[in-house]
Chain A
């Protein structure tokens, strides 16, 4: 059996496979033992409860899915009392995704979650394109990212994962700002801005208008972003965006990701993460190689 174990930030993962925030939860427990994953990532939590956007929130287009959920979540207090405990039984790393509308809000959430030892890392969602003020402003300006991550760094010893949006001009600058201000890991990409038009009503098929695009259609965009970020920073990367099978996962590892996450693919096949863990194991065995040799092995020329 090939060894899939990785060291990523301060965490040890039994394999480099995890899930994308907002697409997975303990509900999948009925289908398989979630302890088999390298890590679990929660849906993004905010300080106060959020009702989310008006429906309709989903639209499928060729090879992709548009969503505008609007960060619907019960808020950090209810997350702690109702949800956190449900993750306790899984023998794997727990990453809690957080977002806020001010730097202070991010820090307040971290303060509330810091006492819980079963949380191994925070994923800082500075990239969610769905909510007007939240996220978007943070993820597109390097200086804001620098200040945010520095402040969060001062509040916590847990690993800090900064999740980047592809909807920027120079993703390297944002990645560098995150790494230099104390982030342990970078994850990317969040959804790509997108739109689908209902030609009968001449309106967006998503009630909120412009939405976030995910799924196989965004994989090439994600790959080139992961590649560029891997060239720019030395901290490890969790790659995601359209991964549907083992070959997709290998592409991300080759361009420099140390681990991979599946989002939209969970909806098509809820066991996709397990399939990819098995697939990676087989690939490494068959080619008599290891993860270290694979990660970053891609050369542009």
Chain B
């Protein structure tokens, strides 16, 4: 884990909702695993006070990048950052995905849940895994790649429907070892029900509001069922990747 103040190398707008922030770095990326995240703060403004967590999107030679959705003040400020403006980065944080070897795996992403998967896919491939990737969004603006199977609720690109629609069929027909999922909680809940039914391992990446990002403040709790008891786990330290079949999904 490191704390660094770095200049923006590139801020690329994908559409009105998403952008990719790239910063020069060797050392954080050298320590990073897929599924880990960084806490990023815009140094130009005091507000918001707290940095915000973002998954590591891509690690390339001498750069690390983040795929970000504009939802509030920090993400809006970051979307307007120009080259050479400074941000602070704390990371890598969290546990990251467990990578199987030579297995068939299924990736399920919804909206901004796409973010941790390019890095994950890379690592899965290096470990000889066979990968299917389904991605879902509301409309065409939530679609990031045409090399995967896309679903949109309005049918503007890919199949019309939800990303989970074909999951039972795929899990029923193929020998899938692990499902990896990241996206809104409703989607993750549905994915966990399907995986529970087919008894397939499920790794989910969870989102909560965070403060310290390193296991100190106990602010980022996820409810988790273990040995018939609901226990509290820290999303920033015990997660953000959890056994999706054990997460307790609130309404």
A: residues with CB less than 8 A from B are 22-25, 27-28, 30-31, 43, 51-52, 55-60, 62-65, 67, 69, 72, 215-216, 264, 266-271
In the complex, how many angstroms separate the beta carbon of B51 from the nearest chain A beta carbon?
7
Q: Which of B2, B208, B215 contacts A55 (CB 8 A)?
A: B208
Q: Which residue of B lies closest to A217 (CB)?
A: B49
Are the C-beta atoms of A57 and B219 separated by less than 8 Å?
Answer: yes
Are the C-beta atoms of A23 and B232 separated by less than 8 Å?
Answer: no
In the complex, how many angstroms separate the beta carbon of B230 from the nearest chain A beta carbon?
9
Chain A residues near B219 (CB, 8 Å)? 57-58, 67, 69
Chain A residues near B210 (CB, 8 Å)? 58
Chain B residues 201-236 with CB under 8 Å of chain A are: 208-223, 231-232
| Given A55-B223, A267-B50, residue A67 in contact with residue B3 (CB < 8 A) | no
Total count of chain B residues near the partner, CB < 8 A:
30
For the residues of A in contact with B, the DSSP-based class is loop
The tally of CB-CB contacts under 8 A between chains A and B is: 87
Complex Cα–Cα for A269 and B89 (A): 10
B88, CB-defined interface residue at 8 Å: yes
| Given A72-B232, A268-B49, residue A65 in contact with residue B214 (CB < 8 A) | no
Are the C-beta atoms of B222 and A27 separated by less than 8 Å?
Answer: no
B47, CB-defined interface residue at 8 Å: yes
Complex Cα–Cα for A198 and B217 (A): 23
Complex Cα–Cα for A270 and B222 (A): 24
In the complex, how many angstroms separate the beta carbon of B94 from the nearest chain A beta carbon?
13
Q: Which residue of A lies closest to B90 (CB)?
A: A270
In the complex, how many angstroms separate the beta carbon of A35 from the nearest chain B beta carbon?
18
Complex Cα–Cα for A224 and B66 (A): 43
Are the C-beta atoms of A266 and B232 separated by less than 8 Å?
Answer: no
Are the C-beta atoms of A266 and B212 separated by less than 8 Å?
Answer: yes
B41, CB-defined interface residue at 8 Å: yes
Are the C-beta atoms of A56 and B49 separated by less than 8 Å?
Answer: no
Complex Cα–Cα for A25 and B218 (A): 12
Are the C-beta atoms of B50 and A52 separated by less than 8 Å?
Answer: no
Chain A residues near B49 (CB, 8 Å)? 60, 63-65, 215-216, 264, 267-268
Minimum-distance CB pairs A-B, first 7: A55-B221, A58-B219, A72-B218, A267-B211, A25-B216, A30-B1, A27-B214
Interface string of B38-68 (1 = CB under 8 A from A): 0001000011111100000000000000000
Chain A residues near B222 (CB, 8 Å)? 55
| Given A23-B212, A269-B88, residue A57 in contact with residue B50 (CB < 8 A) | no
Are the C-beta atoms of B218 and A267 separated by less than 8 Å?
Answer: no
| Given A57-B221, A72-B232, residue A27 in contact with residue B51 (CB < 8 A) | no
Interface string of B183-211 (1 = CB under 8 A from A): 00000000000000000000000001111
